[in-house]
A and B are shown apart, each in its own frame.
Chain A
């Protein structure tokens, strides 16, 4: 089985099949990452598509200074931040049309909870939001989060606890 790096080299030499193989290999993780907080398969697919379209351009200049998986994960995090920002504006612009929770169908309780939670996550400062996304969505250890974000492990922990506290406050109010 060819490694990611080998596939990227083949892709850089013009093999589209190598790129497709790379997509096949990493799509489940990427799609899974986005479906966790969009709760909408179409939206998750669109986000994954955007990430891989960016990858198609970026991989032509990839210099193998980091692992592809890390590179892709960073792209996912950036895309999720864009999604959060976009959703924040969308929520703000549609405040008057938001359904009242008391009228919600109880069969959609999970859906409602998920929306509430991710709306709350979208209001967090970007660093806290990234830590929460990585920690909860991918169950990443603090050590890896710290390494990924270029901060200390303690800072990652502090950010996470601040984020959880802020989420709790937002949801309880």
Chain B
């Protein structure tokens, strides 16, 4: 078997024509498609890197003190400013006046240690 001859015969039997204009159009379309794909990939990677860094930075700033994230405005009644105090007083009075079960409301106010309304209401009862 003459390998060289066989290879040459096969090679020479090939049709070697191609439409150049079509090829060039396809070439540029494919080139642009690959660039768009690459940009998409890079954007994805950049977004992932940004989110990782941002997420890590945010997480590292979190503290163990829950009071930073949860409102506990009702707890330190003694440090309320006068406006808030008046507002809370009104709300408490409203609750006392409108509740169906006065004792539940008084228990609630007692729980939150809001003395003024309890005292006022006690006076009213007396």
Tell me whether B14 and A35 are in contact (CB under 8 A).
Answer: yes
Tell me whether A31 and B24 are in contact (CB under 8 A).
Answer: no
Tell me whether A168 and B18 are in contact (CB under 8 A).
Answer: no
Which of A94-141 touch B at CB < 8 Å?
A: 110, 113-114, 117, 136-137
Tell me whether A49 and B30 are in contact (CB under 8 A).
Answer: yes
Q: Answer whether A27 and B11 are a contact pair too, CB < 8 Å, given A168-B1, A168-B3.
A: no
Cβ of B23 < 8 Å from any Cβ of A? yes
Cβ of A75 < 8 Å from any Cβ of B? no
B residues in contact with A48, CB < 8 Å: 18, 23
Tell me whether B18 and A171 are in contact (CB under 8 A).
Answer: no
B residues in contact with A49, CB < 8 Å: 23, 26-27, 30
The winner among B18, B23, B27 for most chain A CB atoms within 10 A is: B27
Q: Answer whether A31 and B26 are a contact pair too, CB < 8 Å, given A36-B11, A117-B10.
A: no
Cβ of B63 < 8 Å from any Cβ of A? no
Cβ of A72 < 8 Å from any Cβ of B? no
Q: A45 contacts which of B4, B15, B18 (Cβ < 8 Å)?
A: B18
Q: B14 contacts which of A20, A36, A56, A113 (Cβ < 8 Å)?
A: A36
Cβ of B61 < 8 Å from any Cβ of A? no
A residues in contact with B65, CB < 8 Å: none
The smallest beta-carbon distance between A7 and chain B, in angstroms, is: 14
Provide the B26-40 mask, 1 if CB < 8 A to any CB of A, else 0: 111011001000000
A-B contact pairs, 19 of them (CB 8 A): A23-B23, A27-B23, A31-B18, A31-B23, A32-B16, A35-B15, A36-B11, A39-B14, A49-B23, A49-B27, A52-B27, A53-B27, A53-B31, A53-B34, A117-B6, A136-B7, A136-B8, A136-B11, A172-B1
Residues of A participating in the B interface, judged by any CB pair closer than 8 Å: 16, 20, 23-24, 27-28, 31-32, 35-37, 39, 41, 45, 48-49, 52-53, 56, 110, 113-114, 117, 136-137, 164, 167-168, 171-172
